[in-house]
Amino acid sequence: TLVMANKYFGGVLNNPKVHSHPDQELIDLALETVKKCDLDMETLHVQDTLDDIMELLRRSNKYIDETQPWFFAKDPADFPRLQTIIYNLCEAIRFAAVLLESFIPETSKTILDQLNTQQRSKESLFSFGNLEEDTKVTDKPAILYARLNEAEVLAKLMPEPKKLETKPEITIDDFNKIDLRVGKILSCKQHATAEKLLVSQVQVGPEVRQIVSGIADKFKPEELIGKKVVIVANLKAAKLRGEISQGMMLVGEEGETLEILSVETLPEGSIVR
């Protein structure tokens, strides 16, 4: 679009408003896109906002094919129509650039700089035609996206989310070997010689088990008494600093934060899966 503006009119934009049917469709869509984006953002539908902006850019590409601006460059008598087409395209692009500012501010600024416009506010999109006339657009336009390739633009706007880092995969058979049960902490005390260990007596179905947990720096013994927790019931017993541990209590961890996994409504001994 900017190449045509420079080729035919020395880069100066004017809007004689010599309209035809495709013009009004583009104008209506630009104004409707602003309303749609407002609604999408209010309802936190970010992807829908981007889709709406891309639809405006696709319609702009179609507008070029429909109006064939190069056809009107043959006869000076048709220049007003050509000026109108180029202006409408630049204005539609301005609409998209302003709407994109929240997502890709650097690209938005580059587009608006190339249009040499000061009309960059959301309020400037309340009507179509606020792009300044007699404005000279850049004579060295940068190609941001070849033919506004939708996949490339959306990839830049919505990058692939990072994948969760996990331990090596296991099969369902491996998982089924783990016996997770609900246990109720009957008593809990600080380990006599290890400041980070708590020693708990846990009711698991008909039996009481002793479980030693390295969570004393995060929880006080009295905070745990009465809680129903999830334990690994078939973990081989181990001696930790002189105390036998007959299972493992499960906790959630994020950085320095630990949270006991609890199942308060199920009876002791219930299976967790």
- As a whole number of angstroms, the distance between CA 268 and CA 206 comes to 8
pLDDT at 157: 58
- CATH code of the domain containing 105: 1.10.730.10
d(CA 231, CA 215): 14
* Domain hosting residue 249, numbered range: 172-272
163 occurs within a structural domain: no
User: Do residue 150 and residue 189 come from a single domain?
Assistant: no
Does 229 lie in the same domain as 146?
A: no
132 part of a folded domain? yes
pLDDT digits (tens, 9 = 90+) for 170-225: 999 999 999 999 999 999 999 999 999 999 999 999 999 999 999 999 999 999 99
CATH number of the domain bearing residue 207: 2.40.50.140
Q: How many domains does the chain have?
A: 2
Together in a domain, 89 and 214: no
* CA distance linking residue 227 with residue 264, whole number of Å: 7
Alpha carbon distance 187, 139 (integer Å): 79
At 168-179, the pLDDT tens digits run 999 999 999 999
Q: Tens digit of pLDDT for each residue in 12-65?
A: 999 999 999 899 999 999 999 999 999 999 888 888 999 999 999 999 999 999
Is the pTM of the predicted complex or chain greater than 0.75? no
Q: Among the three residues 157, 184, 202, which one is the final residue of a domain in this structure?
A: 157
